[in-house]
């Protein structure tokens, strides 16, 4: 049987068995939608794709199944590995069972390997996102099966020769790296117990030279918050694949009779229009989870304002100043719980400190609510300080022995221990029952270097799910010493991610740009920091800091009580502008222009009906030319007419005279001209940003301006 799935310009064709013992399911095509094909055409397609038998190879045509193994003649990375613990023997060869259609969007595939059964769910969402997941069940009566790998492999055409993925460091996450894919495998593995700052994040292969707006690309992401691996592989035989799955430590997952292991989803997408085409699929799909959620609130987080100095008078003044500039949520960061006077102690003792807060958090709650704001609270439930009441009372709950190195003066609490799990859950429930906390900033400040990452990650998911079920209005922000846990496994369980620990706008421009290929902007926490960045020491103008933090889930990480009246006016204007544009910024199509000069970025958000848009033209460094290329405003309707207006303070320009349209502050042109030709570019000084509001003057949603 040939299964043909179609959605959002993407097509998937699967050859699946209809009876026991047939060929294992294989992907015949994943890429551009082939249009409506009847059964005869599909059968002909399958027959036409049966490969030749090359010399010095197996004597039957090599079909790449969805779960390739050596027994099938596949000599690349196998999808399924493991052994029986009593005998040390591998699993029996896989034998296909009949496939089951699951509506118009998916199919369930089944194969047996003796006492083991592998179930594979394949789904193509209405947004064009492909999801594939394996599960392994022990259906026997004795012995234990030790799982080595249960990974998803997807074919890509040989023309996909260039690889893009990511690396990074603390406060410098998601740095892109490109290479050409030769024969062999380009493999990325993470062993942090979390994705890590060097997370490969999204593995993309495409025709050489692909960009944001051009080129055919295929991409995969492992939706998992623990250890994982992703790879791209080309063989001398001519097969090329993308693959990924959970990276299991030896013996980490052992299945006794009746037990089941469910691997994480591999999430994938194809685009014929470059990286922005991937976002056009990923973003609507992610947004489909959040139906009915409130708009993201503008927050003030206290960390870089007061650090551990939780003085009530100082915080009261900060509350009042935050409210005066329009902040909607006041988040109390690290330092509020018992004995927490610095980063070396008290993690795990999740009760309000009686010294800093003799009346509990109730006075702060009252002041925050009186000023029209909500309260958020920082927690780090997965970690414990050796110097804490919890660690002293329950050393058996701490992962690793006392002689192993700490990380940020902390160890990992074993959430896989039922008693430790219950303790953390009950401590959080007590806080949430006593105080009207609107959001938790959920931090994770160290790698898991000991113990089971699989066990810890599944326990984390269970804890988040349990809390969200009990408190359906509670919002959660995923933070992991910045952006070390941003993935599609945790994202359905949270409302926001902390994109990076750096608020340096120069670093943030590229971090947000690349994170946003996969994650919609409303999830990306971005804050207006102090003039001098906490992480880099670099000083940036208020306008540049504001422009950088405007496009995501906006917030403030700055002691506003020390800001000048002029700066407070700028912040007040910026908050109001973000709130006014939030509906567009958090729902529109994200676009990024391909610019030859690496010192210049152009990005924006376009309404889905293309009636309005908002762009930023950003100078990261000194330009390569005194007369830069025109700025192209991509994504507009070519057949409509638009008015383009400059917004906010004019950034510093280093030309003798600006372009006339910039002097006027606006221009009216057809969308085709703005997208394909563009506007004379300003010669911006480094660390400057020009903001442009674009409104259609004709068609649905057109805006009429006064003279």
Question: Which listed residue (15, 414, 501, 504) is catalytic?
Answer: 501
Strand (E) or helix (H) holding 457: helix 453-470
Active site residue 501: yes
Q: Are strands 437-442 and 475-478 parallel, antiparallel or unpaired?
A: parallel
Q: In a 10 Å sphere around its CB, with 0-12 CB exposed, 13-18 middle and 19+ buried, how is residue 626 labelled?
A: exposed
User: What contacts 422, CB < 8 A, 6 or more positions away?
Assistant: none
Strand (E) or helix (H) holding 240: strand 240-246
Give me the sign of the Cα torsion angle 396, 398, 400, 405.
Answer: negative
| Residue of 524, 586, 526, 590 whose CA lies nearest to 556 | 526
Q: How far apart are CA 425 and CA 413, in angstroms?
A: 13
Residue for token digits 């405007």?
Answer: 550
Residue 154 backbone zone (phi > 0: left; psi -120 to 50: alpha; other: beta): beta
Listing DSSP states for 530-562 in one string gives -SB-TTT--B--HHHHHHHHSSSEEEEES-GGG
Q: How far apart are CA 399 and CA 282, in angstroms?
A: 36
Distances (CA, A) of 344 to 127, 339, 384, 439, 494: 46, 10, 10, 25, 28
Q: Is the CB of residue 44 less than 8 Å from the CB of residue 4?
A: no
Q: How far apart are CA 658 and CA 661, in angstroms?
A: 8
Rounded to the nearest 10°, the torsion over CA 667, 670, 676, 682 is 0
Phi, psi of 631 (to 5 degrees): -85, 120
Residue 115 backbone zone (phi > 0: left; psi -120 to 50: alpha; other: beta): alpha
Going along 302-384, which residue ranges are E strands? 329-332, 374-379, 383-384
Question: Which listed residue (443, 504, 559, 577) is catalytic?
Answer: 443
Give the residue numbers annotated as catalytic, written as ranges: 443, 501
């Amino acid at each position: 049987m040939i299964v043909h799935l179609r959605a959002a310009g993407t097509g998937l064709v699967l050859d699946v068995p209809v009876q026991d013992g047939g060929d294992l399911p294989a992907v015949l095509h994943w890429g551009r939608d082939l249009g409506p094909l009847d059964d005869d055409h599909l059968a002909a397609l399958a027959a036409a794709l049966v490969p030749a038998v090359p010399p010095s190879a197996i004597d039957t045509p090599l079909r790449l199944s969805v779960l390739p193994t050596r027994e099938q003649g596949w000599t690349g990375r196998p999808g399924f590995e493991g052994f029986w613990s009593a005998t040390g023997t591998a699993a029996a060869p896989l034998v296909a069972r009949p496939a089951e259609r699951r509506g118009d969007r998916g199919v369930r595939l089944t194969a047996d390997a003796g006492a083991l059964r592998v179930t594979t769910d394949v789904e193509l969402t209405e947004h064009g996102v492909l999801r594939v997941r394996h599960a392994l069940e022990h259906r026997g009566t004795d012995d234990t099966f030790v799982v080595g790998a249960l990974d998803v492999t997807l074919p890509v055409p040989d023309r996909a020769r260039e690889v893009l993925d990511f690396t990074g460091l603390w406060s410098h996450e998601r740095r892109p790296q490109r290479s050409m894919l030769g024969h062999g495998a380009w493999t990325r593995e993470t062993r942090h117990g979390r994705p890590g700052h060097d997370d490969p994040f999204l593995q993309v292969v495409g025709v050489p030279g692909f960009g944001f707006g051009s080129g055919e690309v295929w991409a995969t992401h492992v939706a998992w918050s623990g250890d994982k691996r992703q790879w791209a592989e080309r063989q001398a035989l001519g097969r090329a694949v993308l693959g990924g799955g959970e990276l299991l430590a030896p013996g980490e997952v052992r299945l006794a009779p009746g037990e089941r292991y469910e691997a994480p989803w591999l999430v994938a997408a194809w685009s014929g229009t470059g990286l922005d085409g991937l976002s056009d699929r990923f973003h609507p799909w992610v947004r489909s989870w959040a139906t009915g959620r409130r708009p993201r609130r503008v927050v003030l987080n206290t960390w870089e304002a007061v650090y551990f100095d939780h003085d009530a008078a100082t915080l009261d003044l900060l509350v009042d100043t935050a409210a005066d500039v329009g902040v909607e949520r006041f988040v109390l960061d690290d330092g509020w719980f018992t004995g927490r006077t610095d980063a070396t102690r008290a993690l795990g003792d999740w009760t309000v400190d009686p010294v800093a807060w003799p009346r509990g958090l109730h006075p702060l709650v009252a002041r925050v609510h009186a000023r029209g704001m909500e309260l958020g609270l920082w927690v780090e439930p997965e970690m414990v300080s050796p110097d804490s009441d919890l660690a002293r009372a329950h050393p058996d709950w701490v992962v690793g022995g006392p002689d192993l190195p700490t990380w940020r003066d902390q160890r990992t609490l074993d959430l896989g221990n039922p008693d430790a799990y219950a303790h953390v859950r009950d401590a959080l429930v007590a806080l949430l029952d006593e105080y009207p906390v609107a959001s938790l900033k959920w931090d994770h400040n160290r790698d898991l270097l000991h113990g089971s990452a699989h066990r810890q990650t599944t326990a984390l998911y269970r804890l988040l799910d349990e809390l969200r079920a009990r408190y359906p209005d509670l919002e959660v922000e995923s933070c992991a010493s910045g952006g070390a846990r941003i993935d599609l496994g945790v994202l359905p369980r949270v409302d926001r991610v902390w994109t990076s620990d750096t608020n340096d706008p120069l670093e943030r421009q590229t971090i947000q740009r690349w994170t946003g290929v996969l994650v919609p902007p409303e999830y990306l926490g971005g804050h207006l920091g102090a003039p001098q960045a906490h992480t880099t020491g670099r000083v940036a103008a208020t306008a540049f800091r504001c422009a950088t933090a405007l496009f995501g889930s906006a917030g403030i990480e700055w002691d506003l009580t020390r800001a000048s009246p002029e700066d407070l006016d700028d912040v007040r204007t910026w908050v109001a502008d973000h709130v006014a544009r939030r509906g567009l910024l958090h729902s529109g199509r994200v676009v990024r222009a391909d610019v030859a000069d690496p010192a210049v970025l152009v990005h924006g958000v376009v309404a889905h009906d293309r009636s309005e848009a908002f762009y930023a033209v950003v100078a990261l460094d000194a330009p390569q030319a005194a007369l830069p290329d025109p700025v192209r405003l991509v994504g507009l309707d070519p057949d409509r007419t638009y008015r383009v207006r400059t917004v906010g303070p004019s950034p510093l320009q280093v030309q003798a005279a600006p372009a006339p349209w910039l002097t006027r502050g606006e221009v009216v042109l057809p969308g085709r001209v703005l997208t394909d030709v563009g506007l004379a570019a300003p010669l911006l000084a480094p660390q400057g940003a020009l903001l442009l509001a674009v409104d259609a003057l004709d068609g649905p949603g057109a805006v009429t301006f006064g003279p």
